[in-house]
Structure 1
Amino acid sequence: MCSLMINAVLFGVGVITVLSVPALSAQAKYLIPGVIVASFVVTPLLCGLVARRMRIRNWGVSHWREGDLISG
């Protein structure tokens, strides 16, 4: 489930970047397929990090109470 959301965010950020920068939008027909491929390649790497983080048993009780950089 998290891989679908991560892939959507990566694709959206890439496409918005390509289409909003005038120098890149001229080459959009070549860059957008590159964004698609890049988002599919990077998604499993980021999903592995996020999925491990989502498992509460890996945190331990003391780490769960104090939080971390992301959750505060």
Structure 2
Amino acid sequence: MSVRLQISAMLFLMIQALAFFAATLVLLLSPFSREAMSLMPWVVAGTALVSMPLSWWLAPRLRARTWRRDGAMDLLK
């Protein structure tokens, strides 16, 4: 299992939780709140589809090698 996949899997859980919270909040505060229970599977699937590519895109940016290569570690000293 690659490092990018491992980081992406950990990020997916956090991004999914935040996206689900935001989507559920929007759903419950919208006029569709009466149909919330029937729309909830769509919210789960939609946030999962958004979270997967986002976590895959963010994963390489969290590696220490990227920070050292870009010179960002000099700012932390």
Q: What band does the TM-score fall into relative to the shorter chain?
A: 0.7 to 0.9
Structure 1 segments (4+ residues) deviating >6 Å: none
| Bigger proportion of residues as helix | 2
Rounded to whole Å, the distance in 2 between the matches of 1:19 and 1:40 is: 19
Q: TM-score, normalised by structure 2?
A: 0.70
CA RMSD in angstroms, aligned pairs only: 1.6
Q: TM-score, normalised by structure 1?
A: 0.74
Question: Hey, what does 1:39 align to over in structure 2?
Answer: 47
> Structure 1 regions of 5+ residues with no counterpart?
67-72
Amino acid at match of 1:38: G
> Structure 2 regions of 5+ residues with no counterpart?
1-9
Higher relative contact order (CA 8 A, sep 6+): 2
Q: Percent identity?
A: 30
Number of aligned residue pairs: 64
